[in-house]
Structure 1
Amino acid sequence: MLRTSAELRRTAPALIASIPVAIVFLAVLGIVLTAAGPNGLDLTDAQTSGWIAVLYGLPSVIALVLTIRYRQPLLVTGNVFAIIFFVSLGDRIGFAELAGASMLAGAIVFGASVLGLTGRMAGWIPAPIVHGLIAGAVMPFVVNVFTSLSTSHQGVRTPSGPPLMVAGALLAYLVSQRLFGPRLPPILPALLAGLLVAALTGQLGAFPTSFALPHLELLHPAFSWTASATATPVLVALLTVQSNIPSVIYLRSQGFDPPERVLNLVSGIGTVVGSLLGPIAVSLALPPALLTAGPGAGEPSLRYRSVYLPVAVGLLIALFASTASDLAVLVPPTLLLAMAGLALVGALVSALKEVAHGPLILGPVFSFAIALSDMTLFGLGPFFWSLVLGASISLLVEREGWRRLRADVSTLADRPG
């Protein structure tokens, strides 16, 4: 009995550190529902439930297996930045084409891992350029939070319910930040406050009354030049430069020895397989790693246990994916969009910090601006040109910074993994 009690006390920091990650998993569901809705990919209920199941279920299973095998906090996720990216492209590229683009990205990452080229490949796509693109992709969602506070549209007065609902959520978000800081993800009180105001103003829909297993229908990924050129390079960058590589670096800084090549191989294979059910990018994620692998998770030898709670939440969401998709009927679309925007504030802040950090500045700023634009050349949209032109500008006028980044990446690539 005493031994069990002592073991629980030793495990408690790992479990406590993982609670914010589990809450963020739930918050990201709002982004997925936004992506699947009529303002995004306009999926059927069956497609939505299948997509939710693969986004949460597949990475959770992979994370559980890797964590048990290596006794390290290897929290693999469905990359949230990729989900944001899919939302941003929903009005231009179809669901099957996005799945084809993500499958191709997974194949490239897998091939690069087999050949040992992942680190060197990352040197071709400077991380600050990727962060500029991410900031540009995220910004419209954050801006939409404040657009939702409007009481009139084009001179016509709008109902007061939606602005009140979003205002309540925003106020709760800010108060939570002030009172609790990083101890409690502010998106949780924001959602609760938004739902409370929605209930008081009669904006809630019907509550789901039935449970069914998710509908897993194999998708036939479509491959097109436009989708592949627009989405695949960005997804490769998100899988490597933005996710796996910095996560591995952080794990090493905490005294762990993550199996880098295995992680990249699994990331590529998982992305390819998952794309048979919908667009996905399977990878490590740095923000959760800071919590699950950091000092706050307790003794290094027990930090792997911090992965178990997020994995359990991910598997439950996957199992109840059909019911989760019905939440789009319960929660007003305006609140879902506002929750997506508030959930992405942290991502926007992080990306803008990286853009301003250097050593590349001009290229990332142009990348940010282009990603925000409606620029289309030769049938290719702003995200493609955000990477290409942002990198080209840095290569042209910021060569010293480019060389420094390449040297850093080469040092990483030469390390065994």
Structure 2
Amino acid sequence: MPKSPAPTTAAKPGLTRTDSRPVVAGIVTALVGFTSSFAVVLAGLKAVGADPAQAASGLLAVTLTVGLGVLVLAWRSRVPVTLAWSTPGAALLASSGVPDGGWPAALGAFLGAGLLLAMTGLVPALGRLMARIPTSLAQAMLAGVLLQLCLAPFKALGSAPAFAAPVILCWLLMMKFAPRWAVPAALLAALGVIGITLVSAGTPVEPAGLVPALAWTTPAFSLQAMAGLALPLFVVTMASQNIPGVALLRSFGYEAPWRSAMLVTGAGTVAGAPFGGHAINLAALSAALAAGEEAGRDRSRRWIAGFTSGLAYLVLAAFSAALVSVVSKAPAGMLEAVAGLALLGTLASAVSAALADPDDRIAPAVTFLMAASGLAFAGIGSAFWALLAGLLVRLALRPRPGKKSA
């Protein structure tokens, strides 16, 4: 006789221990996804011109669109598909600076990226064109834009060691004993440091700032913002989130609803753009929590984990304004330090992928250095020029037909 009864699909009142696993996995997926990277979103929105109210609106917008999008996709596909905001995209914003035209132009770029995502679902040729961009160059561009943000925790050690040291120490200890919770724990440590600072200084927190609210800004469109923000945002979101998200689901035996996912995330990005939402996409790393064994043995019921994560995101949206209100009063550099810790793993993976091929390292190296340089030309940021430079160098160094490389 087996030690425990086999899971069944028959409906029963209440939830058994086995039945509850997809629900718990979904809640954990949302908690890890939200707490591990919301600081990156705030840092990115602030860098492209958002004030605290606009940044709070942007965080609320992406949280709501992620939650609603997951509910639609998981319910319709019965696949444990999960969504997230574009963390690499937010890091790209953090390294880009305010575009010509300010915050409205940044929103126009978000809207443009959303249209490109939706078109990827409607026009298969666009997806094939994206697939032709060498992975090494896309990852090198991502690594370059991440570099400055990932340096922030260590710069903070020099400028504000009393604030930064506890956060970094907490992160390091959790990386040793519970890596999945390292960034959320570092965030809690940062909030504790901020809270102590506010109390000791007698700084008040306005109750009105704790209520989440969407703030409309009419997007403006400019060629510079489209080339310097929209196109790189689309590329890093596809290369670092959507394509890995599909691969991760496939590794657990599920086929991602690609066309539906691109349409839903594209439409969600377009809808959220006037309120400050930069981009949403298929989840990559956190998706394993909803698609793997932690979501239960019955593979046919793991979609419930994805659906539950959507509900959890909608609940977390209620706390977005409070988090922004507290974080906005943090010591200078604290937000960027937490964001940098959240992205260290992504930076390491991007560098590794960019330089994986020993015969193709010069073009990725040029792409990385160009992206990290912060070069802006004709109002267009370094990410665009980095990708263009990498493609040109790769083309120039490619062996001529019929001639073998030495």
Bucket of the pairwise TM-score, normalised by the shorter protein? 0.7 to 0.9
Q: What secondary structure, in the 3-state scheme, does the structure 2 residue paired with 1:91 have?
A: coil
Q: Tell me if structure 2 keeps the 8 A contact 1:35–1:86.
A: yes
1:33 is matched with: 42
Identify the residue that residue 70 of structure 1 maps to in structure 2. Answer: 77
* C-alpha distance in structure 2 between counterparts of 1:81 and 1:19, whole Å: 21
Give the residue type in structure 2 aligned to 1:83. Answer: A
**Aligned residue in 2 for 1:365:** 365
More deviation, 289-298/93-102: 289-298
Q: Spell out, residue by residue over 1:347-372, the C-alpha distance to the aligned partner (whole angstroms, 9 max, x if none).
A: 11121121122374322221111111
Say which SS state the counterpart of residue 276 (structure 1) adopts: helix
| Sequence identity (%) | 27
Q: Give the corresponding residue for 1:90.
A: 97
The residue aligned with 2:404 is none
8 A contact 2:70–2:309 mirrored in 1: no
1:208–1:327 Cα contact (<8 Å) kept? no
Q: CA RMSD in A?
A: 2.8
Tell me the secondary structure at the aligned position of residue 77 of structure 1.
strand
Q: Which residue type is aligned with residue 23 of structure 1?
A: V
Say whether 1:382 aligns with 2:391.
no
Alignment of 1:88-237 (within 5 A): 88-93=95-100, 94-150=102-158, 162-180=160-178, 182=179, 184-198=180-194, 202=200, 205-207=203-205, 209-210=207-208, 213-237=211-235
Q: How many residues align?
A: 385
Q: What is the CA-CA distance between 1:398 and the residue it aligns to?
A: 4.6
Instruction: Determine the structure 1 residue equivalent to 2:351.
Output: 352
Report the alpha carbon displacement of residue 343 of structure 1 after superposing the two structures with TM.
1.0
Per the alignment, do residues 45 and 374 of structure 1 end up closer, same or farther by CA in structure 2, a change over 3 Å counting? Answer: closer
Which secondary structure does the structure 2 equivalent of 1:283 belong to?
A: strand
> In the superposition, relative to structure 1, how do residues 378 and 35 fare at CA in structure 2: closer, same or farther (>3 Å)?
closer
Instruction: Give the Cα separation in 2 of the matches to 1:286 and 1:324.
Output: 24
Q: C-alpha deviations, 1:286-307, integer Å up to 9, x for none?
A: 1122332234433322222322
Residue 143 of structure 1: how far off its partner (Å): 0.9
* Matching residue of 1:290: 288
> For residue 281 of structure 1, what is the aligned residue in structure 2?
279
Say if 1:97 and 1:221, in contact at 8 Å, map to a contact too. yes
Residues 18 and 292 in structure 1, CA contact (< 8 A), matched pair in contact too: no
Render the CA deviation track for 1:374-410: whole Å, top value 9, x for unaligned. 323344321111111112222332579xxxxxxxxxx
SS in structure 1 at match of 2:84: strand
How far apart are 1:167 and its partner, in Å?
Answer: 0.6
Q: Per-residue CA shift, 1:161-191, capped at 9, x if unaligned?
A: x3112111111111111122x3x42122223
Ranges in structure 2 where 5+ consecutive residues have no aligned partner: 6-11, 401-406
User: Contact between 2:209 and 2:321, CA under 8 Å: does it hold in 1?
Assistant: yes
Q: Displacement of 1:205 after TM fit?
A: 4.4
Deviates more, 1:68-77 or 1:190-199: 190-199
Between 1:218-227 and 1:299-308, the stretch displaced more is: 299-308
Q: Secondary structure at the match of 1:377?
A: coil
User: For residues 213 and 309 of structure 1, do their structure 2 counterparts lie closer, same or farther at Cα, with a shift above 3 Å needed?
Assistant: same
1:241 to 239, 242, 253: 239
User: Is the contact made by 2:96 and 2:381 (CA closer than 8 Å) also made in structure 1?
Assistant: no
User: Would the aligned equivalents of 2:29 and 2:309 in 1 still touch at CA under 8 Å?
Assistant: no
CA–CA distance in 1 between the matches of 2:332 and 2:59? 18
Which amino acid counterpart does residue 54 of structure 2 have in structure 1? Q
Q: Does the CA contact (< 8 Å) of 2:48 and 2:99 recur in 1? A: no
Change in Cα spacing, 1:205 to 1:397, as seen in structure 2 (3 Å) is farther
- CA spacing shift, 1:24–1:250, aligned 2, 3 Å: closer
Give the Å deviation of 1:373.
Answer: 0.5
Which segment drifts farther, 336-345 or 240-249?
240-249
| TM-score when normalising by structure 2 | 0.85
Residue 399 to residue 169, structure 1, CA distance change in 2 (3 Å): farther
Shift in alpha-carbon separation, 1:274–1:338, aligned structure 2, 3 A:
same
**For residues 215 and 57 of structure 2, what CA distance do their matches in structure 1 show?**
7
Quote the residue 2:340 is aligned against: 341
Separation in 2 of the partners of 1:208 and 1:399? 63
The 2-side partners of 1:196 and 1:49 are apart by 20
2:61 aligned to which of 35, 54, 69: 54
1:252 partner amino acid: R
**Cα distance, 1:231 vs structure 2:** 1.6
Cα pair 1:198 1:204 within 8 Å, conserved: no
